[in-house]
C-alpha cells in the first residue's frame, strides 16, 4: 500500500509528458490567483503538498477551471480519459476537516464541470468520487473530488460485476442507524456550542 501511495505521489510530482506533445510548459497553466487565494484564507499552503504547489503556480497542471475557492485540473494518473480533480485552494487534509462552505462551492461546480468533461470526452456518464483517508485510498492528503467520465460497458470498476445484497432488516442494522443518528445529534450540539458562546 505504501509503495502505491509513493508511486502515485511521484507521478503527480513528476508527470512524464508524451513525446508527441509540445513542450510541457507551452500547454500547462499555472494558477494565476494563487497568492490571492492563500492570503484570502489567511492560510499558508504547505511546501510538501503537490496540490498546494500547483495552486501556487510552482508545479504544472492541465487547468480546466479556476475561481477564488477552487481549481479543476486533469488527473495525471487518469482512470479514464478526462478524469479530473476539483481541489480547494486552501489546504485541508481530508473532506471531514474541510469547511462545509468550501465543500458546497466545490460541489456546486460538479454539474457545470461534469457536463463539459462528458461532452469533451464523448462520455454519457461520470462517477463522482472522494477517497477520504488512507484506508479509502486517499494518496494526496489535500481534499479533492474526482470526476471520472464513463461510457457504457467500460468495465472500469471490478465491483460493478459484484452482486449487491439486500440490506438486512435486523437489530444490528437498526443499532447502526441509531448510532449514526446519535453521533449526528452530538456533532450538531458540539457545533452549536462552538458557534454561540455562553453568556455569564
Which residues are catalytic, by number? 144
Q: Say which residues have a Cβ less than 8 Å from residue 118's Cβ, sequence separation at least 6.
A: 82, 124, 125, 126, 149
Helix (H, G, I), strand (E, B) or coil at 193: helix
> Could you give phi then psi for residue 77, rounded to 5 degrees?
-130, 65
Q: Say which residues have a Cβ less than 8 Å from residue 132's Cβ, sequence separation at least 6.
A: 94, 95, 96, 138
* Contact between 141 and 94 (Cβ < 8 Å): yes
* Contact between 66 and 14 (Cβ < 8 Å): no
Amino acid at each position: 500500500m505504501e509503495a502505491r501511495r509513493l508511486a502515485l505521489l511521484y507521478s503527480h510530482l513528476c508527470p512524464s509528458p508524451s513525446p508527441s506533445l509540445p513542450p510541457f510548459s507551452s500547454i500547462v497553466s499555472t494558477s494565476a490567483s494563487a497568492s490571492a487565494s492563500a492570503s484570502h484564507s489567511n492560510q499558508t499552503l504547505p511546501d510538501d503538498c503537490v496540490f498546494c504547489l500547483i495552486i501556487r503556480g510552482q508545479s504544472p497542471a492541465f487547468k480546466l477551471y479556476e475561481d477564488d475557492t477552487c481549481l479543476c485540473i486533469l488527473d495525471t494518473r487518469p482512470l479514464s480519459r478526462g478524469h479530473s480533480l476539483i481541489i480547494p485552494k486552501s489546504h485541508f487534509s481530508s473532506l471531514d476537516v474541510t469547511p462545509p462552505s468550501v465543500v458546497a462551492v466545490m460541489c456546486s461546480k460538479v454539474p457545470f464541470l461534469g457536463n463539459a468533461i462528458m461532452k469533451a470526452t464523448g462520455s454519457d456518464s461520470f462517477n463522482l468520487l472522494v477517497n477520504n483517508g488512507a484506508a479509502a485510498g486517499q494518496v494526496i492528503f489535500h481534499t479533492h473530488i474526482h470526476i471520472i467520465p464513463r461510457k457504457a460497458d467500460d468495465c472500469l470498476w471490478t465491483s460493478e460485476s459484484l452482486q449487491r445484497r439486500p440490506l438486512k432488516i435486523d437489530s444490528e442494522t437498526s443499532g447502526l442507524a441509531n448510532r449514526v443518528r446519535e453521533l449526528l445529534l452530538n456533532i450538531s450540539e458540539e457545533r452549536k456550542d462552538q458557534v454561540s458562546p455562553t453568556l455569564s
